[in-house]
Structure 1
Amino acid sequence: MNILKYGMAICAMMICGAAEAQLSVGYYKFKNGAEYSGELKRRKPNGMGRTVYPNGDMYEGQYLKGKRDGQGTMMLNIGERYIGKWKEDMKQGEGTYYFTNNNMYVGAWEQDQQEGKGKMDYFNGDKYEGEWSKSKRNGQGKYVWAGGAVYEGHWKNDLKDGSGKMIWEDGSQYEGHWKNGFRHGKGTFTYTNGDKYTGEWKEDVQDGKGVYYFHNGEKYEGEYANSERTGKGVYTYPNGDIYEGEFKNGKQDGQGVFKWANGAVYEGAWSDNERNGQGKYIWANGDVYEGEWKHNMAEGTGKLYMTDGSVYEGSFERGKEHGKGVIKEKDGTVFEGEFKNGKKDGDFVEKDASGKIIRTGTFKNGRLLDDKKM
């Protein structure tokens, strides 16, 4: 009889323990003041339930050992909402988050942050689909602007960073390297008019070495600064003309050589795309001018070497002999006098090869008015 009573007592204890381990429905209050109602196990939330937080937030979904775990919905008092997977009280797995600004994220989560692949629909109509890390666009992804622009490539901390391709609304496009949201490094930009630049970039501007192909057939290869041809470079024209030298703010500026397709060559100083300063010009027929230039014309003092052997040395104005000048002929005779608009004009002295004066006189607009032989 005693044995029977003892056995019954043990059995009763086992039943009570099993009952305690079974799920039940009840109420639980967390240390932070949140109040839970739903399924319990060992007096803790376990299974389906609802929790209302002191600030008005509310969670409804699955619990495991007192923590949100499984499928659940969290509604915040600020109007944001999350529907998806949880693990140990954190958003983990696939889920959808609705932001107060009407953005919506659908994708992977890890430890309460957007992590992995996901899609964000922005309130303004923009869309991003790709990789995330720490709730920011990180890794490969595609961003489509509401206006039609598209970027597809690598991201870092919500900014275009690494290799990627951007197509703007107007059809222009860039493919290459990015850094901190800017075109930075090597890349190619194609303009809507057909022009194309391939080369180095710095913080969204052409900077460094590059090649620019114009839609009309012209081509520049050389150095850039702040999106302008600046430094040394070569500019080639479709007709065969070519300039090689220094540039500044997109224009020929400094020392350079221009070779025309017809054989003419200029070597010397440039400014504002014009021959300005000291320079040497060789005509296709062999004539040579060496001296000062202004606005693409001989201006100042210089020497003009003619193919017939004669040499003019003196003043020039607007590309013509003007002012005092000396002509030395091939046979050694010398003409010293005044010139105007490329013609002899004024008093003159003529000397032989030994320096002896052989004639004097006066010219007017290239016509000899009078002369006197010595």
Structure 2
Amino acid sequence: MGHPSDSRYRGETRQKSCGADHAEVFWKANRATYTGMWRDDRPHGKGTYVLPGENGFTYEGNFFEGDRNGSGICVFSDGRRYEGGWLKDNMHGMGILFGNEESDDFVDYTGPFANGKRRGQDGTCRYKNGSVYKGEWLDDKRHGRGELEVGKNASIPGYKPIPGESHVSSYVGTFVDDVPKGAGTLKYSDGSTYEGEIEGLHRHGKGVHRSSTGCVFKGSFECDRRHGPGVMIISGAEYRGEWHYGSLEGVVTITGDKIPRADPSLVYYCGPAVRGELTGDNAVIEYREGYSYRGSVRMSKPHGKGVLLKKPVTLPEIGDFILQYDGEFVAGLPKGSGEGVFLAANPDTDTLSEESPLEPRGFLPKYNFSGRYKGSWTDGLPNGKGQWIWDQIDRTYCGDVLRGFPHGEGTLTCSSVSYTGSFVKGLPNGTGKASWTVGASVENTYEGGWKEGYFDGEGLLKLHGGYSYKGQWSKGLVDGLGTEIVPYERTYTGKFSQGNKHGEGKLCLIRSGEVYEGNFISGEMTGAGKMTTREGHILKGEFINGKMSGDGEAIHKNGTVFQGKYRNGAAFGTGRILYAHGDVYEGGIVSSGDLIPHRDGPGVYMFFEGGKLECTWKRNVLVGEGLYTSSNGIRSRRSYTEGILDFDELIDKVDPATSGDLSDAVSKHMSTDTNTSESADISAVGIKICRSLPSRKACHGNVSLAVCGSPNTGSPPFGGVKPVPPACVEKQFVPLPQIQIQTPRRDGEASLADPYPIGQVRVRNAGQGSPSFSPKSPSAPFLFPGPRMSGTNFSLERDALVRTSASTMRNDSLRPLSPPLCLEPRVASSNGQRFPALSGSVVRNSGTPDHREHEIRRLTESLQNVNDRIWTAKTARSATWSSADPVTPEKKPDPDSLQTLQQERRTALQDLASLM
């Protein structure tokens, strides 16, 4: 690389030459500059040479005798950059060439160079499209064996994949003049591979293509398409024949378990192919299920004239059959004229149960039986007018047919059922009449609406036993409004839902005489309702499964009403009882097993005269301490043991000026110390007896009661109120029968069967109201009502007992209620004869069969009777009786008799305590 004569030189000089170890040279002709080592008028050693211009460059590296030689870096004016070896001013040896970002198609090349060009083996070039080539090079071109990794979505000159097919991702093979050509291996983006002859990344010539789906084709290719003879294996099927630019053409033989683009069950085909489709005449097809076809085909399916042998056919909603058909086909199915025989693959054996209308009611005939069809065919099945004959089950159908089913109007006759009417898909639908027999000759019928084989809409069902239902149906179940009649058992009119009584309705139970009106849920009396018994009792409120549960009201036919809560048919908690005679109780209650519950627990008993008693009850028996308030506001503290008054103490002082109805004796007693003398004790007893008696006033709809004093004229003793019957009630005196009380033998005495006389009772004409108890004779002392009868309710004002009959509480069935029974104990005889001790029991049907409870009641009644007799004896000796109405007996009992009665009382209390 010499320098022109007009060049400038700056540096050291030596003899015989112009040169120096270091120089700066500028060449005016090409405006090149050099800075570096210099020898013999040439660059020699390390230096930097800059040549401006279009073909210029900047080189920094080693020079030898004026040429770039060794290693150096050169940046060309076209944007390329080279780092590597140089020889005689050319790129030579190993180096890296970086391409121009705008004009070159590669990013860089790393590998061997020769005479300024890429040449040699193992050269690696990275392209802008993402491709990478590694292999042999010749004069800047890929030549020889190499590997090309094609970048994703890379555009390669001369290569254009078939639309819809995968793109080449790599190639390993030979290159000729920078183009893949010859034998090689292609890999595609979907995982497919090809081994064989290649031209320009295209399959061309003989080769084997293996797709990612498992399809293998071995044969000839032309520009990536199968062309010429070949064998293709796909999904286990083998195709042998001729291909024409990718499609089968001519006679082809196909074998395999699954043939693409054909009937999935096709396993063998021998016949014509046109443009890849199995179409033509005289084809033979065999199917996996074992049936076969011979005849014309179109697109691998029978089409035209042909014979189908032993083909399994599934009739929707019927079953599987073996069909033999000879006739015309369309798209693989029999259509047009032809004759078919259906052989049931798995015929049903029992049909009567399905054909007999049961719950849910309907007629659901089966068709899974061998049979013959004569008539019209469409889409491979019987369609149109025709006739089915099922010889095996003795059934025929004549009428409209759709896809093998009776559809439209027709008549289906079976061995035990006959139906005439509308059909939809083999099932009665619309309107029709069905009749079926039970036994030899008994016939049941249904006529009305149908839907999908079930009774639906309005219809009338009549069964041979007399049962009938007329009303609405839904899916074979009574649903909606209707009337059900079960002879000798029940009738119901109201709403149904899903086969059950549901909603508002009225149920009449013929045998028990009960009538329920109200809500039903799932067939049970649940919700708000009203139950009326044969006797006239009424239950109103909330029901759950036929039993009162929740808020409710029980109304006895005699007028007594209970209001409270129920649980599982039994009253519980607290409630309110309105007695027919006007008294009201509010407080704790417990089920009595009858209609009206027992008073149980703390409560308030309010008398219609105005007084009230706040106390505790145990199954209608007073126990414990309580507070009594009279109608005029006078309060007294009281104590009871098993219904017997043990203690009574006045709380309020009585002003004689405001209590004109009290006798002088009472006023005197209230101001005197009751513990001063025996006579004072007896006076207290008399007052206690008087205070425990009701002072009933006139009340509309009830008989006024006067249970103390004498019925004759004049002021009653101790302020008792005279009997004042209301004007609207006519007094009647009804004699009641006597009750025999058996008393056991005691202390050597003979067994006594003494009649227990019952006094006259004043009652209302209508049979309601409170009974009044009156003494046996005007001169006899009043005795409190005697034995408490099991199964009765008692209302009290003070200690007077007013009996009302108990109503039987409905549990699972209602029992006839016992009539009201009013008893009055025997009074002491005028000659002072001692009463026999009541240690026996009154015989009566009890609502509770428990022996222990029976004994408790018996002892309680005995205690009450003994107390009555003790109080009578003490009253007879008392000197505090009013002179206006003396009740002193002719002969007072001696002290020994009183002690005997007290001993009897202690004995009864001990027996009662042991039981309790």
Shorter-chain TM range is 0.7 to 0.9
1:176 maps to which of 467, 471, 494: 494
Q: 1:112, CA displacement in angstroms?
A: 2.3
Amino acid at match of 1:283: F
Check 1:370–1:139 CA distance in 2 against 1; reply closer, same or farther (3 A cut): closer
Check 1:250–1:297 CA distance in 2 against 1; reply closer, same or farther (3 A cut): same
> What is the aligned partner in structure 2 of residue 62 from structure 1?
375
1:301 to 2:632 alignment:
no
Amino acid at match of 1:96: T
Distance 1:204 1:104 in 2: 32
> What is the aligned partner in structure 1 of residue 517 from structure 2?
198
1:113 maps to which of 419, 427, 430: 427
Distance 1:74 1:361 in 2: 116
Deviations 1:214-264 (A, max 9, x none): 343333321111111121123333433322222233343332222223211
> What is the aligned partner in structure 1 of residue 400 from structure 2?
85
1:331 to 2:647 alignment:
no
> What is the aligned partner in structure 1 of residue 565 from structure 2?
246
Of 68-77 and 228-237, more deviation after overlay is shown by: 68-77
Q: 1:104, CA displacement in angstroms?
A: 3.4
Amino acid at match of 2:496: W
Give the alignment's TM-score, normalised by structure 2: 0.32
Distance 2:456 2:498 in 1: 12
1:223 maps to which of 538, 542, 551: 542
Greater RCO structure (CA 8 Å; 6+ sep): 1
Aligned partner of residue 54 in structure 1, secondary structure:
strand
Distance 1:267 1:61 in 2: 84
Deviations 1:270-326 (A, max 9, x none): 11021111111122333322111122232232223344765442321343313x553
Check 1:352–1:195 CA distance in 2 against 1; reply closer, same or farther (3 A cut): closer
Q: 1:114, CA displacement in angstroms?
A: 1.9
Aligned partner of residue 359 in structure 1, secondary structure:
coil
Q: Superposed, which structure 2 residues align to 1:316-355 within 5 Å?
A: 316-322=640-646, 324-328=647-651, 330-331=653-654
Contact 2:343–2:371, Cα closer than 8 Å, also in 1? no
1:282 maps to which of 606, 620, 625: 606
Check 1:71–1:171 CA distance in 2 against 1; reply closer, same or farther (3 A cut): farther
> What is the aligned partner in structure 1 of residue 554 from structure 2?
235
Q: Which runs of 5+ in 2 are unaligned?
A: 1-305, 313-321, 345-368, 592-596, 657-667, 683-869, 880-916
Contact 1:252–1:274, Cα closer than 8 Å, also in 2? no
Distance 2:414 2:613 in 1: 75
Check 1:60–1:238 CA distance in 2 against 1; reply closer, same or farther (3 A cut): same
Q: Which runs of 5+ in 1 are unaligned?
A: 1-26, 334-349
1:359 to 2:675 alignment:
yes
Q: 1:28, CA displacement in angstroms?
A: 7.4
Distance 2:437 2:410 in 1: 19
Contact 1:50–1:58, Cα closer than 8 Å, also in 2? no
Aligned partner of residue 53 in structure 1, secondary structure:
strand
Of 203-212 and 63-72, more deviation after overlay is shown by: 63-72
Distance 2:335 2:610 in 1: 103
1:147 to 2:147 alignment:
no
2:615 maps to which of 277, 291, 299: 291
Distance 2:546 2:402 in 1: 52
Amino acid at match of 2:621: M
Check 1:238–1:281 CA distance in 2 against 1; reply closer, same or farther (3 A cut): same
Distance 2:527 2:675 in 1: 62
Aligned partner of residue 431 in structure 2, secondary structure:
strand
> What is the aligned partner in structure 2 of residue 346 from structure 1?
none
Give the alignment's TM-score, normalised by structure 1: 0.72
Check 1:88–1:213 CA distance in 2 against 1; reply closer, same or farther (3 A cut): same
Contact 2:411–2:421, Cα closer than 8 Å, also in 1? yes
Check 1:156–1:361 CA distance in 2 against 1; reply closer, same or farther (3 A cut): farther
Distance 1:110 1:81 in 2: 17
Amino acid at match of 1:210: G
1:270 maps to which of 589, 592, 600: 589
Q: 1:88, CA displacement in angstroms?
A: 4.5
Check 1:307–1:236 CA distance in 2 against 1; reply closer, same or farther (3 A cut): same
> What is the aligned partner in structure 1 of residue 215 from structure 2?
none
Check 1:268–1:99 CA distance in 2 against 1; reply closer, same or farther (3 A cut): farther
Contact 1:161–1:179, Cα closer than 8 Å, also in 2? yes
Q: 1:99, CA displacement in angstroms?
A: 5.0
Q: 1:357, CA displacement in angstroms?
A: 5.0
Check 1:321–1:308 CA distance in 2 against 1; reply closer, same or farther (3 A cut): farther
Check 1:111–1:307 CA distance in 2 against 1; reply closer, same or farther (3 A cut): closer
Distance 1:150 1:139 in 2: 16
Check 1:318–1:285 CA distance in 2 against 1; reply closer, same or farther (3 A cut): farther
Deviations 1:91-133 (A, max 9, x none): 1122333457x34333210122221112333443543222222
> What is the aligned partner in structure 1 of residue 234 from structure 2?
none
Aligned partner of residue 675 in structure 2, secondary structure:
strand
The structure with more strand, counted as a fraction of residues: 1
Structure 1 or 2, whichever has the larger Rg, is 2
Distance 2:561 2:483 in 1: 33
Aligned partner of residue 117 in structure 1, secondary structure:
strand
Aligned length: 322
Check 1:58–1:300 CA distance in 2 against 1; reply closer, same or farther (3 A cut): same
Deviations 1:10-46 (A, max 9, x none): xxxxxxxxxxxxxxxxx97675553569x99999665
Deviations 1:298-356 (A, max 9, x none): 2232223344765442321343313x5534464389xxxxxxxxxxxxxxxx9977xx9
Of 162-171 and 312-321, more deviation after overlay is shown by: 312-321
Amino acid at match of 1:320: I
